[in-house]
Structure 1
Amino acid sequence: LALFYFMPFLGVRNLVETACVPFLMLGAWRLIRTQERNLPRDLLIAGVWIGLAVNVRFQTLFFAAGPGLVLLYQRRWSYALVYGSGILLPLVLIQGGADLFLWGRPFAELQEYVMYNMANTTTYFDQPWYNYLLLLLGIHLPLIGVAVMFGFFRKPTPLLLWVPVLLFLAVHSYFPNKQERFILPIVPLFFTLGYTSWELWRESSGWWQRNSKLWRGQLVFAWTLNTLLLLVLTFSYSKRSRVEAMWGLRNEDGIRALLIEDTVEGEAPMPPLFYLGQWDVWVESWTDPTADLQGRLAQFPPERSPNVVLFIGKEQLPERLARLERVIGPLDILFEAEPGLVDRVVHWLNPVNRNETIVVARTREGADTDR
């Protein structure tokens, strides 16, 4: 599982969808031990681990509800109470405590997060219900994905893990707003459950025992392809244009503020300031060409007025450049940051993923005279 081509690539990403995975896996392991030893302590610890996952990624609350529903269905009331207490412990202490300190009421962030998502169910993307099933089918390479999918839906065992994974998948499939990263928290467990079930079935199948070379050949092909993809992705990174734009500005002196100009699609991305090396630089977005940008910038103190502009995309660039120069003066284009191979492939697979070239410019009076 750890050597699947996408795991190292995702493992180093600063995504809550992957950061919560270790907590879910630790909780899953404790749930398995519960079936072996039948100790309430394991359920309590499982609840704590999964509760920590909810702190990181709120949507894993649907996963967290799964084991509780199974325990209630099995009429194991005290066990359900112990598990629920484990879930609540980190939620109350960490999430509730932090929100109480910052916002004056517990779970303020969770409440606002739920309200925002309910009000914006189709604001960003509206994908079909089977979108995640296709993703889970394809992400595990040819035929292995079919085997994993077959194994997962063939037999709902172990129930304490199967139900939470299914519940998480079902809720996300029902919700209109779908992005590939949303399903990442359950990918390791989906593969583990599905592949284990498939292997148990295959070993008991007379047909597969007579044709064992067919499966071995498929594994050789899949792992050869996986190794090639692993080598490529391990030394690649996504959102290359955003990273390169910041890295290219790293040695620029006197950057007061960044202006992100995205009047084409109206969704200015957040620049990864880590690669710029200046966490305190001010970032301003301009997405509406009819908005009064001059009046807006007039409110900025001189030391915070933008002197570097990032044009997101090259569409209508001359018009956008001229429009902005009328507001902040002449601009010199420093360089262009192009998307990488990974970005182009992801955009080809799903066009909703942006694949933009970023044109970086600087006001002439603030330009580096040594360039």
Structure 2
Amino acid sequence: MLKSMNATDSILKKPTKYFIIFAAIIYLTVIFFNDGFMALDEYFVGITRYIPAQNSSVHSLVNPDDVKSPLQILPMHGVAQAAYALGVTSPYWQYRSVIFVLGILNFLVLLYAFLRLAETLRFDIRRQNFLLLMFALYFGAPFALTRPMFESIAAPWLALAAVWALRYDLNGRTKDLLWGVVFVSIAFVLRQQLGFCALTFVILPILKKKYKQFLFAAALGLGLLLIAGIPDYFLRGQFHYSLLNLTIYNYQHGAEYGQKPITFYPILIFIICFTPFFFARYPEGFVKKQFKTFRSIWLFVILFIVLHSLFPQKWERFVISLVPLFIIMALPFLFQLHENFQKHRLRLILLYAVNGFLFFIASFFPPQKNLIEASRFLDQNPQIKMVHRVNDTPGWITEAFILNKQFSFVEATHESLQTVNWRDCSQSLLIGAFDLPQFTDVTRNLNLKAEFNVNLIEQLAYKTNPKNNQRRVQLSLFTGCQ
């Protein structure tokens, strides 16, 4: 065990560039192999607005009844348009270009934020490299932070804002305070709810009794808020139309999407941060010191929880913007435990094993894979004109990845399928795994052309709650042709 600890210590003393390269390899691998997206909103009010790039424009990024800001979708739209201008005509590969470019940008901004954090707190090389390992290997980071979704692209800027809040809290410099306001304002533009975290830059000067700095921060924040509302005025006819309608819509219709208790986010964060593993006896004064040092980070998280708890609908994906902050919050405690590995080896081995399993599943098993692959298959087989489906499964596929849609869905029954002329190669049957056993008398005379699988998590989701997860099943496509 002592040899193992010496080896670990020796590795952590290696030059930081090796850990940066390792983290970059992890993120690039996930970007390359994982083309999935997490949420329906990410597709229907995101991807469909900028893909295909051939059919997208700035004015089509939002519908009249949308509560999203056009500025939120603009980064994805810009990358998709650039890819198209460079000759990428496939909508799917335009989408992959967005993942690639924004994923790398997110990685670079977060890397900068973590290195500046290490510089600010004067980490030795071991602690700095340990932070980079957490950045690379925390299960919630590489996949979630490289998706083209609002929570993901806002996360690096919120992390920068939090680090600059910590810098200001430690040294009291006005420029750190104002840069923090700028960074949190960018996060606000990309996901409006994160603007509530800007109150940190009002609270900290008050706690320090630096009222002149408070006025500077408030004035800059107000100015940036006014500037952020100008695009809405020109594109949607009203100043901060999106922000106003988002607030009203969530208040009036939030309950229609489900009601979760006020404890939802505290419990969720408690779980995904592996908090029980950190219950241990630390040196006297250690915990108090860490909370004092990182109080600005905790303020961000608390403000996030307060705002999101005001509305009845609460979704797990909203906390993606906080993932970099979770890494920062956990760092001092995990490093302290790791410094005493022999004493805590059982808990650390279990922690690393659980995280490693979740990391592998989250990073390399794309969600919505069945829907993406089905759309790609149909795009590549334009001879298929009619897709018969049973029980509205699949209810939808990623048609945005199809440039020239040639097919139509037809609701089918056992009786209607018996009348189809399967010698016509334009006819096909797309059926979910749960319906397949009841239609063997139809499928045994057909040819299985393709199967579109789902990942392990989606399989479990369907088995535990089939009613709300019908899209998360393996799909099989049959035709009567060879």
2:459 paired residue number: 344
Distance, in Å, in 2 between the alignment partners of 1:15 and 1:348 is 27
**2:272 aligned to 139, 155, 158, which one?**
139
1:309 aligns with 2:442: no
How far the C-alpha of 1:228 sits from its partner, in A, is: 3.6
Write the deviation string for residues 103-146 of structure 1: whole angstroms up to 9, x where unpaired. Answer: 12221111111111111121112122222222222223473365
Greater RCO (CA < 8 Å, at least 6 residues apart):
2
2:366 paired residue number: 237
2:80 paired residue number: none
Contact 1:52–1:91 (8 Å) recurs in 2 = no
1:60 paired residue number: 194
Write the deviation string for residues 279-313 of structure 1: whole angstroms up to 9, x where unpaired. Answer: x75xxxxxxxxxxxxxxxxxxxxxxxx842287xx
Q: How does 1:1-371 map to 2 (within 5 A)?
A: 1-2=134-135, 3-93=137-227, 95-141=228-274, 143-144=276-277, 155=291, 157-196=293-332, 198=333, 213-253=342-382, 271-273=397-399, 276-278=401-403, 307-309=407-409, 318=413, 332-334=428-430, 337-346=452-461, 354-356=469-471, 357=473
Change over 3 Å in CA distance of 1:74–1:36 after alignment to 2: closer
How far the C-alpha of 1:199 sits from its partner, in A, is: 6.1
How far the C-alpha of 1:47 sits from its partner, in A, is: 0.6
SS of the counterpart of 2:194?
A: helix
Change over 3 Å in CA distance of 1:159–1:226 after alignment to 2: closer
SS of the counterpart of 1:87?
A: helix
Distance, in Å, in 1 between the alignment partners of 2:225 and 2:279 is 37
SS of the counterpart of 1:162?
A: helix
1:297 paired residue number: none
Distance, in Å, in 1 between the alignment partners of 2:205 and 2:246 is 28
Contact 1:169–1:183 (8 Å) recurs in 2 = no
Change over 3 Å in CA distance of 1:228–1:106 after alignment to 2: same
Write the deviation string for residues 246-303 of structure 1: whole angstroms up to 9, x where unpaired. Answer: 1221213278999999879xx966x4345x342x75xxxxxxxxxxxxxxxxxxxxxx
Distance, in Å, in 1 between the alignment partners of 2:467 and 2:202 is 36
Contact 2:388–2:430 (8 Å) recurs in 1 = no
Look up the equivalent residue of 2:248 and give its one-letter code.
M
Distance, in Å, in 1 between the alignment partners of 2:415 and 2:225 is 47
Contact 1:48–1:89 (8 Å) recurs in 2 = no
Contact 1:310–1:358 (8 Å) recurs in 2 = no
Look up the equivalent residue of 1:13 and give its one-letter code.
R
Contact 1:6–1:230 (8 Å) recurs in 2 = yes
Distance, in Å, in 1 between the alignment partners of 2:455 and 2:410 is 18
Look up the equivalent residue of 1:119 and give its one-letter code.
Q
Change over 3 Å in CA distance of 1:212–1:235 after alignment to 2: closer
Stretch deviating more after TM superposition (225-234 or 343-352):
343-352
Change over 3 Å in CA distance of 1:310–1:156 after alignment to 2: farther
Distance, in Å, in 2 between the alignment partners of 1:70 and 1:228 is 39
Change over 3 Å in CA distance of 1:258–1:142 after alignment to 2: farther
How far the C-alpha of 1:236 sits from its partner, in A, is: 1.2
Change over 3 Å in CA distance of 1:213–1:117 after alignment to 2: same
How far the C-alpha of 1:190 sits from its partner, in A, is: 3.3
Contact 1:136–1:187 (8 Å) recurs in 2 = no
Q: Give the TM-score taking structure 1 as reference length.
A: 0.69
Contact 1:11–1:18 (8 Å) recurs in 2 = yes
SS of the counterpart of 1:309?
A: strand
How far the C-alpha of 1:9 sits from its partner, in A, is: 1.7
Change over 3 Å in CA distance of 1:321–1:340 after alignment to 2: farther
Change over 3 Å in CA distance of 1:351–1:370 after alignment to 2: closer
Give the % identical residues: 22
Contact 1:50–1:87 (8 Å) recurs in 2 = no
How far the C-alpha of 1:234 sits from its partner, in A, is: 2.3
Change over 3 Å in CA distance of 1:369–1:349 after alignment to 2: closer
SS of the counterpart of 1:175?
A: coil
Distance, in Å, in 1 between the alignment partners of 2:387 and 2:303 is 43
SS of the counterpart of 2:256?
A: coil
Structure 1: stretches of 5+ with no match in the other structure: 282-305, 312-316, 363-367
Contact 2:167–2:176 (8 Å) recurs in 1 = yes
Look up the equivalent residue of 1:78 and give its one-letter code.
K
SS of the counterpart of 1:120?
A: helix
Q: Could you say which structure has the higher helix fraction?
A: 2
Q: Give the TM-score taking structure 2 as reference length.
A: 0.55
Contact 2:389–2:429 (8 Å) recurs in 1 = no
Distance, in Å, in 2 between the alignment partners of 1:27 and 1:218 is 33
Contact 2:185–2:224 (8 Å) recurs in 1 = yes
Contact 2:387–2:427 (8 Å) recurs in 1 = no
